[in-house]
């Protein structure tokens, strides 16, 4: 397991958030902490996301 996985999101907290999203009829829910800020970069500005991801190490 790499450091990013070892310090990952709590499984129980993730499950509760997912269940709430499903109950509300959400088709998609991004679950995570501060790192979820990168999701729009991944979707719309892929080259910038790759540049950022390459220069950030898992803590």
CA distance 57 to 36: 16
The C-alpha atoms of residue 28 and residue 4 are separated, in whole angstroms, by 23
Q: Could you say which DSSP state residue 43 is in?
A: H
Q: Give the domain range for residue 50.
A: 3-55
- What is the total count of domains within the chain? 1
**Is the model more confident about 55 or about 26?**
26
Q: Residue 15, class by beta-carbon neighbours within 10 Å (0-12 exposed, 13-18 middle, 19+ buried)?
A: exposed
pLDDT of 51 > 60? The answer is yes
% of the chain beyond a pLDDT of 70: 92
């Amino acid at each position: 397991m790499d450091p990013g996985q070892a310090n990952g999101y709590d499984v129980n907290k993730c499950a509760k958030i997912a269940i709430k999203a499903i109950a509300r009829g959400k088709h998609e829910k991004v679950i995570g902490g501060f790192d979820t800020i990168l999701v729009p970069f991944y979707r719309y500005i892929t080259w910038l996301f790759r540049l950022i991801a390459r220069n950030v190490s898992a803590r």
